[in-house]
Structure 1
Amino acid sequence: MPPIPQAATSHQPETRLIEQLYGKILRRNLGETEFHQAVREVLETLGPVLAKRPELVDARIIERICEPERQLIFRVPWADDTGDIHVNRGFRVEFSSALGPYKGGLRFHPSVNLGIVKFLGFEQVFKNALTGMPIGGGKGGSDFDPKNRSDAEIMRFCQSFMTELHRHLGEYTDVPAGDIGVGGREIGYLFGQYKRITNRYESGVLTGKGVGWGGAQARTEATGYGCVLFTAEMLRSRGEDLDGRRVAVSGSGNVAIYAIEKAQQLGARVVSCSDSDGYVVDEKGIDLALLKEIKETGRGRVADYAARRGGDARFVSGSGVWTVPCEVALPCATQNELTAEDAATLVRGGVKAVAEGANMPTTPEAVRVLQEAGVAFAPGKAANAGGVATSALEMQQNASRDSWSFAHTEDRLAEIMRHIHASCHDTAERYGAPGNYVVGANIAGFELVAEAMLAQGLI
């Protein structure tokens, strides 16, 4: 077992306790490497909290927080357009309801397994706490691959998936949303099946719905917008801003596209984006209208963007988007995409801030490289919380049978992101780690959940 480093090391008794707990978690969750990584990243910052608050040790809060309240695994049979039968595996990890109903997305991707769903659910607990909204944490999905499947096949899969999952959901119980592979189309099919089975129009049971039938304005944009708004707050705390900054973005899905949009609105020049084939560099700045047309309408590749854009835009196959010199880097693709080597390259290129638009896209080694170089680094549980925050606003609108304007929802989103930044910033200072947003986010989220668990008894 690797030692627990960083913030815990100056609190030796607490460090030993955390190492013991981490060892127990490893033994009880064998082979779940992403979950191990997410837990370790939180535990290594909690030494100062346990030193100051021994009642949390006595109540075994850490051990309870790291064990999901419920883990569901189920079979999802479905038939393709030729009549062939397929069997996928579905998951829902209901991690914590200390602050409210379980809340978190569904991911449809071949890589989905229990360890990944648990890592995402664990992160979601603290992310949701940081928003200040009354929502717990959970995550789910399936190893189903929607790529190259017809609408009819995706509908049949979603209906089979919801037929099993529906009994565990409810607006006061568990509220899923979308994630990788689950967009508005899939949410529609899932909601329709839930409504059909339950005979209830329970709008608040799923978020990410269409605006015409219970969805929230600005939800599509929220995660990308929120990431950039948090970045702007980080820079502002250092007496700087985004205007005129050179920005590199990884990914070209929903989060990346709207991170690019908000960065451009704030005066930045975004020069890159990527997909699984490679990355594009556009020195004039990404033409967002063209990128949206290719990715959202045509479901094309970033190579198509470079071909159609012409001029100085160029496509480079393979990984390497972090070799593009930038002052701000926004990893918006997938977990562990930004390595220590990438971080060193970014530092040499003059990066000032890195904010995670995806879930845990930066390896622990890369985080250390960035922090040791004095780069402002925002972990995903803080920087990409705008999406789930706006989902909670969607639930609020559903509960009151109301619908807000885009401008009003965006104002609320900006207010929430400022609150999250202030909470992380101030908590880091309070625990002797000024400017360390990893420490600030972890401790601020942990304390909120821990206080609720103490108040609610042995749960």
Structure 2
Amino acid sequence: MVLASEPEFEQARNELASCIAPFLEKHPEYATAFEIVQVPERVIQFRVVWEDDQGKPHVQRGYRVQFNSSLGPYKGGLRLHPTVNLSILKFLGFEQIFKNALTGINMGGGKGGSDFDPKGKSDNEIRRFCYAFMQELSRHIGADTDVPAGDIGTGGREIGFLFGAYKKLRNEWVGVLTGKGPTWGGSFTRPEATGYGLIYYCQEMIPYLNPTNSSSGISFSNPETKVLISGSGNVAQYAALKVLELGAKVMSLSDSKGALIACDDKGFTKEDIEKIAALKLKQGVLDAVVRDGLEWHAGKRPWTLVAQADIALPCATQNEVSEEEAHALLKAGVRLVAEGSNMGCTQEAIDVFEASRRAGGESAVWYAPGKASNCGGVAVSGLEMAQNSARLQWTTEEVDDKLKGIMQRCFATTYKVGAEYSVEQGSSVLPSLVVGANIAGFKKVADAMREHGDWW
């Protein structure tokens, strides 16, 4: 049962329900699996008491939602942000089940975190919180049980503190966390993986938008292709850097305070992104990066601020593209929308994009959901787990090649299943990737659950 106090989880559940409806019509026996998979196997909630630098104790809420282990150990990030609650973590854990399934790596789905806010805290305060948090979490995780990773508010510093606490508490060195430093068990390309993987997935989509392979069409190698990106964290930064490396233009980045827009048609430079990365480490606001050619729009998101663009990549947080903003993207000429964030678009925005796709034609928008297009991050986390199990480390080139292959196979799967179950007909209509991703991920998990005897 979904509670009214869990709107994010209900939205994620309803998206899956609507997308798998044509599959359930053909295979009604899977309805039981759908009822079961939406209930977490385990929800752990605990208090975390930590001391600030003045010795004053503070209490936070800690969580771990162990949603589904049919395909492997629970796998999903730890989010540290004041907005964290059970609804958000259940939505993220639910999405993680099917995202992980689409990578082809043996990982289940889970998510966790706390309403602790690392912003404005000293390194020692963050360390004390991480040690207190891990004191309870360590009872419930393990290399073959549950392998958390980073998420919003949980970067390399936090992963290091959490790993150190686990090692002291359990007296064992195992790959219990991913996102570790590359000199002590981490994988090369892990920080870049979600952003790079997003672009690799989009590269698989683009040829279908340019059936004649025209050199003037949408392409990351076309310097006239304009890309809108929201966010300015890890995902947005590395997506932007990969776009620039390939040759297209980045026209926007943003944070919780506003949007930074390129207004001179030249776009962001690599140096701009590097300045933003340094600024984010100091918890600064993007308005400090304003220069000639970059305009700051306080309290705004990028989607309504650019008159013309080709590709839109939401990379900030959930529900960051509204119905109104979706219409603005259509008006600006955007042809491809792919989520670097989890559930970046509201259901109303998805409906706008899907209606455009069904209409077909040269101005149709093709939408890719985060559970497919941003699965590169957790894919490389899975590769980090494999490297830890073998006590070895692959090169940057080896990991990047494996990441590209995973994203290519993920696209091929979502395209094929989307083509099979999309109700539209006609050579000019592209298949629904959101339908394909949800059905493919759900069926893989449901089949494993059936073979384990969870339903029959």
TM-score (norm 2): 0.92
Q: Secondary structure at the match of 1:44?
A: helix
Give the alignment partner of residue 312 of structure 1, picking from 289, 293, 305: 293
| Shift, 1:263, TM fit | 1.3
CA contact (8 A) 1:335 1:360 kept: yes
* Structural mapping, 1:396-411, within 5 Å: 396-411=386-401
Divergent runs of 4+, >4 A: none
The residue type paired with residue 122 of structure 2 is: S
Match of 2:177 among 176, 188, 206: 206
Distance in 2, matches of 1:67 and 1:299, equals 37
Q: Which residue does the alignment assign to 1:12?
A: none
CA contact (8 A) 1:257 1:288 kept: no
Tell me if structure 2 keeps the 8 A contact 1:291–1:305: no
**1:48 CA displacement:** 1.8
- TM-aligned CA deviation for residue 284 of structure 1: 1.6
- 2:12 aligned with 1:38, yes or no? yes
What amino acid maps onto 1:303 in structure 2?
D
Picking from 90, 100, 112, the partner of 1:118 is: 90
1:221 equivalent in structure 2: 192
Residue 423 (structure 1) aligns with:
413
Who is 1:291 aligned against? 273
Q: Would you say the 8 A contact 1:112–1:143 is kept in 2?
A: yes
Asked if 1:53 is matched to 2:31, the reply is no
Between the aligned partners of 1:111 and 1:378, the Cα distance in structure 2 is 26
Q: How many residues align?
A: 427
The question of whether the paired residues in 1 share the 8 Å contact of 2:230 and 2:301 is answered with no
Say yes or no: does 1:365 pair with 2:345.
no
Counterpart of 2:360? none
Residue matched to 1:127: 99
The one-letter code sitting in structure 2 at the alignment partner of 1:389 is A
Alignment-derived partner of residue 445 in structure 2: 449
| 2:252 is equivalent to residue 252 of structure 1 | no
Partner of 1:302: 286
Q: Structure 2: 5+ residue runs without aligned partners?
A: 211-217, 357-363, 424-429
**1:242 aligned partner:** 220
- Counterparts of 1:54 and 1:362 in 2: how far apart (Å)? 29
Q: Give the unaligned 5+ runs of structure 1.
A: 1-24
State the distance in 1 between where 2:237 and 2:226 align: 16
Quick check: 1:382 aligned with 2:339? no
Instruction: Give the secondary structure class of the aligned counterpart of 1:357.
Output: coil
Pairwise CA distance, 1:326 = 1.2
- What letter matches 2:230 in structure 1? S
Instruction: Provide the rounded CA distance (Å) in 2 between the counterparts of 1:329 and 1:442.
Output: 21
Identity rate of aligned residues, in percent?
51
- The Cα shift of 1:298 comes to 4.2
Alignment of 1:90-239 (within 5 A): 90-202=62-174, 204-239=175-210
Superposition pairs of residues 308-347 of structure 1, within 5 angstroms:
310-323=291-304, 324=306, 325-347=308-330
Structure 1 residue 229, shift from structure 2 partner: 1.1
Deviation at 1:301, TM superposition (A): 2.1
Q: Which residue of 1 aligns with 2:359?
A: none
CA distance in 1, matches of 2:287, 2:72: 43
Give the TM-score taking structure 1 as reference length: 0.91
Tell me the CA shift for residue 266 of structure 1.
2.0
Decide which structure has greater helix share.
1
- 1:267 pairs with 247, 254, 259, which one? 247
Compute the displacement of 1:436 (Å). Answer: 0.5
Structure 1 range deviating more: 316-325 or 137-146: 316-325
Amino acid across the alignment from 1:226: G
* Cross-structure match for 1:349: 332
User: Could you tell me how far apart the structure 2 residues matched to 1:175 and 1:405 are?
Assistant: 22
Quote the offset at 1:54 in angstroms: 2.9
